[in-house]
Amino acid sequence: MTTVICLDDYHAHDRNGRKVEKITALDERGQNFDLMYEQVKALREGKAVDKPIYNHVSGLLDPAERIEAPKILVIEGLHPFYDERVRDLLDLKIYLDISDEIKFAWKVQRDMAERGHSLESIKASIESRKPDFDKFIDPQKKLADIIIQVLPTQLVPDEKEGKILRVRLIQKEGKELFNPAFLFDQGSTISWIPCGRKLTCSFPGIKFYYG
């Protein structure tokens, strides 16, 4: 019923090709937006496509795979709203806005554990990609219908690994597909039992109920 497509599969170059072109994976010149648009449009119209595959382990472009049109199509990646043609095909646009601290913690956990990268190489990779992130990725935020911000907690002292997070939901008004979400609304109740150990308790200090 649902198919998720990673837009990394529409990289125009493999990892070595980006080195030759001296561009990062975030650069607009490294994306095949024409193919992305054609295939998203075809899937929306109920047609099957032969989608390319970008192999994150080898950095190569693998043979294409056949994708049948689903009832619900989710596209995820770095450039979902960048191309106007693709953007106009989307019914709902969600931007995951991760803070630099959390982004670094997640990248360390993933790249060191799953891909064998060193901490120094991860730091260098983040620094090298930052200008392109600011230029090509972050501006898409203003085009989103919903922004989900992932931030470090302000409750737990000395939390260094990003395991406890603070999340903020920002919604655009006037969208037909969803109603605004409210923490406090008619029929809601707040129950607060302060913890004697202040912020070191493992159980919630405040509970929200919606009736």
Residues 123-147 have pLDDT tens digits of 888 888 899 999 999 999 999 999 9
DSSP 162: S
State the residue range of the domain holding 139.
93-179
Whether 53 and 137 map to the same domain: the answer is no
* Number of folded domains that form the chain: 2
Q: What is the pLDDT of residue 189?
A: 75
For the record, the structure tokens of 104 come out as: 């670094």
pTM above 0.85, yes or no: no
Mean residue pLDDT of the chain comes to 87
CATH code for the domain in which residue 48 is found = 3.40.50.300
In a domain, 85, yes or no: yes
Which is it for strands 165-171 and 188-192: parallel, antiparallel or unpaired? unpaired
32 DSSP 8-state letter: -
Does the residue 185 lie in any domain? no
Domain stops at, among 43, 70, 90: 90
Residue in the block written with tokens 């150990």 = 197
20: pLDDT strictly greater than 70: yes
Binned at pLDDT 50, 70 and 90, residue 116 comes out as confident
Give yes or no: residues 2 and 72 share one domain. Answer: yes
72 and 40 assigned to the same domain: yes
Provide the pLDDT confidence category of residue 154 given band limits of 50, 70 and 90: low
Q: How far apart are CA 116 and CA 75, in angstroms?
A: 27
Helix axes 119-132, 100-114, angle to 10 degrees: 130
Q: Are 31 and 8 in contact (CB under 8 A)?
A: no
pLDDT band at 205 (very low <50, low <70, confident <90, very high): low
User: Does residue 171 fall inside a structural domain?
Assistant: yes
Residues in the chain: 211
